[in-house]
A and B are shown apart, each in its own frame.
Chain A
Amino acid sequence: MTKPIIEVKNLAKSFGKNDVLKDITEQVNPGQVIVVIGPSGGGKSTFLRCLNLLETPNSGEVDFDGQNLTTLDTKKVNELREQMGMVFQGFNLFPNMTVLENIKLAPMKVKGMDDAAATKRAHELLDQVNLDDHADAFPSSLSGGQAQRVAIARALAMDPKVMLFDEPTSALDPEMVGEVLNVMQELANQGMTMVVVTHEMGFAKSVADRVWFMADGYIQENNTPDEFFSNPQTDRAKDFLSKILM
């Protein structure tokens, strides 16, 4: 069996008295697409943000590529973050830079790539998300779907081993959801390891290798999408599915 690329052991996180993550132990293998679903406030986003240490866990460990992130110094964590691309619900593009500059910034400042190489790579990635004609636009002139595709290209520019998606389509108008999901599906087809927090059940069904159902601070169920949607094991999951599937 292959070695897992992400391994989470007894992860717990609380904000003040609010225990958001209680005790999570799971693993992600290279090439897997994991879709995390569950009710709002169940800790999905917090869990995702613990994976690249945007949130510091209170206890437990997060191993990435065999290294326990929670025990590493800041410099090492920065290096490992390069290998985990992240896409946010609110895009978080840098508004004072053009699309091209948004993508080039990290490769040039972190990896020390020269301008020509970074520009070439940025155009390739923009081509991949079908936005090369918007290279010189500022983020404010983009639609939500376009902005999110730029954000994906920006994360890919660091050549990550894993991509984390935090509700990438939740802030989009319905007609723009498709273009973003298509890009994500293509990425999955290319073999990218992905952890996706989403409410898009169709995407979970067709693209995910595993579905993690998360509620009340625990991963309640870890199953294949077919099994999960047709034959959920826990009452909590049954209840959730009954509410969202018509």
Chain B
Amino acid sequence: MKKKLILLLALVLTIVTGFTTLSSTTANAATDNSLTKVEKKGTLVMGTSPDYPPYEFQATVHGKSKIVGMDVAVGKKIAKDMGVKLVVKSMSFDSLLVALQTGKVDMVISGMNPTPARKKNVDFTHTYYQGGYSIVINKSDKGIYKDKDSFVGKTIGAQTGSTMYNESKKQTSGTTVKGMTSVSDLILALQSHKIQGVAMEKPSAQAYVANNKELAAIPSKFDLSASDTSASVAFAKGSDALVAKANKSVDQIKNQNLVNKNYLPAAGKYLKTNTVNTSMLHYWKAFLTGIEYTLIITVCSVFFGFILGVILALARMGQGGVVRTGLRWLATAYVEFIRGTPMMVQVMFVYFGLGLIVNLPALTSGIIAISLNSGAYVAEYIRGGINSVDDGQTEAARSLGMSSGATMRFVVLPQALKNIWPSLGNEFITLIKDSSIVSIIGVSELIFQSNIVRSDTYRGVAPIAVIMVLYFVLTFTASRILNYFERRMQHD
């Protein structure tokens, strides 16, 4: 139905499950009391990816951004029947199942369909909604395309790794299938005529058509089994008690047709309020939050990254003795490893991997991961900076009776710092931009916020343009400030 895990995540998952097997004894013992645990806690944490109206999306309610949609209504019903409070946690769809397996969330409701592959890793309830597929096209093309078979020689878009994507490939011939990660991007591609149709779920298609007068929906006529179009609630493997309890709620929802009668119309109302005012100015609060988090992540990471970098650089330059050689070897290995792996994987590993040992919030995980990454790069800058200071400086200081530590601190480092200041400034500016990577674990920095605004307003380009300008304002201001300090440090 919706997206499957991307390859990258499968890798992390493998590593993470590797850890789980190592600590499986404790994990297994905890499964029996899954329901009691939630009841004791008093909260049921639901993970969802709020970029998929009307299933789940962000809406501004009484001036506050809030996750709403029919899935949230389903979650509320389940939590209410358990007598606990529902907490909604947002993250990218790709991260949801990992979050469930690592205990970051208690359940996942995100228009997820219970495929056999997913069933191997998590437990599903009965289905609470049976949907279908539509293809969204430009209204002007309405006469040309009738269903999936009308696109011979043309291009259909679908979310990468999703069931739609796979079925479009399988069930069409002579049609190119173009994959993109977000529906907003696909709609944008459709409107700029890069693709001719977008395959998506019926309720989503309806939402897009209702909110954008230039779009139209046609039936897909895909041949699908029931499990491909149904949505279920996912729980961690082995939490039978929780699943049994949730199934009672799900059955009620089905029997009373609550989704079609209550939940979807309610979600539609939010969609309407959402699209009444789609000017970017209306969303200034969302962007402000984005800037705030981007800056928090960057400043914290630069600070901790610098400290780590100094330690690593000194360790890498240590000489003589078993301990020093060992430290040098460790620091070198660390720097090489961090520089040789993608930051995205590091971010996911810290959030999900370390999450098995300590439950860190996404923001903290993001700051840790980026600091660890930045430290490796800063270490190299500092090492270069220290090497660039003339040996005579060290000799002069040592001949005055200063210890090696004092020499480093009072004589070498201040000069090294001055030499590498431009590189450090570059690193800071790079981090402002690179901090966007933590959007994948649901930290509401600029990219994450802009994606939300895009799916809320059904406007593809405007939010991108806004954050582009915002990023530039941030980096330009930063580079001016850094230049000012650089000038002040110039003595020779």
A residues near B (Cβ < 8 Å) are 52, 54, 74-75, 78-79, 81-86, 88, 90, 92-96, 105-106, 109-110, 138-140, 151, 154-155, 158, 164
Given contacts A92-B392, A96-B418, A96-B491, contact A109 B399 (CB under 8 A): no
| Cross-interface CB contact of A110 among B392, B402, B489, cutoff 8 Å | B402
Knowing that A85-B400, A88-B392, A139-B492 touch, tell me 7 more A-B residue pairs with CB under 8 angstroms. Answer: A54-B395, A54-B399, A81-B400, A88-B395, A94-B397, A96-B489, A106-B402
| Cross-interface CB contact of B411 among A85, A94, A139, A151, cutoff 8 Å | A94
CA distance A172 to B404 in the complex (A): 30
Whether A105 pairs with B410 at a CB distance below 8 angstroms is: yes
Residues of chain A lying within 8 A (CB to CB) of residue B403: 74-75, 78
Whether B395 pairs with A106 at a CB distance below 8 angstroms is: no
Cβ proximity bits B381-405 to A, threshold 8 Å, 1 near / 0 not: 0000000001011011111111110
* Across the A-B interface, the 7 shortest Cβ-Cβ residue pairs: A82-B401, A140-B492, A92-B396, A86-B399, A106-B400, A92-B392, A81-B401
Asked whether B11 is an interface residue with its Cβ less than 8 Å from the other chain, the reply is no
| Cross-interface CB contact of A138 among B397, B402, B410, B492, cutoff 8 Å | B492
* Max chain B Cβ within 10 angstroms of own Cβ: one of A86, A138, A139: A86
Cβ proximity bits B138-169 to A, threshold 8 Å, 1 near / 0 not: 00000000000000000000000000000000
Whether A79 pairs with B401 at a CB distance below 8 angstroms is: yes
Asked whether B406 is an interface residue with its Cβ less than 8 Å from the other chain, the reply is yes
Residues of chain B lying within 8 A (CB to CB) of residue A96: 414-415, 418, 489, 491-492
| Cross-interface CB contact of A158 among B392, B398, B400, B410, cutoff 8 Å | B400
In residues 391-438 of chain B, which contact A (Cβ within 8 Å)? 392-393, 395-404, 406, 410-411, 414-415, 418
Whether A81 pairs with B398 at a CB distance below 8 angstroms is: yes
Return B115 CB to nearest CB of chain A, in Å.
Answer: 64
CA distance A83 to B400 in the complex (A): 8
Interface of A is mostly: mixed
Whether B399 pairs with A78 at a CB distance below 8 angstroms is: no
CA distance A78 to B407 in the complex (A): 11
CA distance A154 to B491 in the complex (A): 20
Number of residues in B with C-beta < 8 Å to the partner?
A: 22
Residues of chain B lying within 8 A (CB to CB) of residue A74: 403-404
Residues of chain A lying within 8 A (CB to CB) of residue B415: 94-96
Residues of chain A lying within 8 A (CB to CB) of residue B414: 96
Residues of chain B lying within 8 A (CB to CB) of residue A106: 397, 400-402
Closest partner residue, chain A, to B492 (CB atom): A140
Return B392 CB to nearest CB of chain A, in Å.
Answer: 4
Return A84 CB to nearest CB of chain B, in Å.
Answer: 7
Whether B395 pairs with A92 at a CB distance below 8 angstroms is: yes
Return B401 CB to nearest CB of chain A, in Å.
Answer: 3
* Max chain A Cβ within 10 angstroms of own Cβ: one of B399, B410, B411: B399
Residues of chain B lying within 8 A (CB to CB) of residue A90: 390, 392
Residues of chain A lying within 8 A (CB to CB) of residue B400: 81-82, 85, 105-106, 110, 154-155, 158
Return B171 CB to nearest CB of chain A, in Å.
Answer: 70
Cβ proximity bits B478-492 to A, threshold 8 Å, 1 near / 0 not: 000000000001011
Cβ proximity bits B22-37 to A, threshold 8 Å, 1 near / 0 not: 0000000000000000
29 A-B interface contacts by CB (under 8 A): A54-B398, A74-B403, A78-B401, A78-B403, A82-B400, A82-B401, A83-B401, A84-B399, A86-B399, A92-B390, A92-B392, A92-B393, A94-B393, A94-B396, A94-B397, A94-B411, A96-B414, A96-B415, A96-B489, A105-B411, A106-B400, A106-B401, A109-B410, A138-B491, A151-B396, A154-B396, A155-B399, A155-B400, A158-B401
CA distance A154 to B411 in the complex (A): 14
Whether B399 pairs with A85 at a CB distance below 8 angstroms is: yes
CA distance A85 to B489 in the complex (A): 29
CA distance A139 to B404 in the complex (A): 23
Return B437 CB to nearest CB of chain A, in Å.
Answer: 36
Residues of chain B lying within 8 A (CB to CB) of residue A83: 401
| Cross-interface CB contact of B406 among A79, A110, A154, cutoff 8 Å | A110
Given contacts A139-B492, A140-B491, contact A109 B406 (CB under 8 A): yes
Whether A78 pairs with B491 at a CB distance below 8 angstroms is: no
Whether B396 pairs with A88 at a CB distance below 8 angstroms is: yes
Residues of chain B lying within 8 A (CB to CB) of residue A164: 399
Residues of chain B lying within 8 A (CB to CB) of residue A95: 415, 491-492
CA distance A82 to B404 in the complex (A): 14
Return A191 CB to nearest CB of chain B, in Å.
Answer: 21
CA distance A95 to B390 in the complex (A): 11
Residues of chain B lying within 8 A (CB to CB) of residue A93: 396
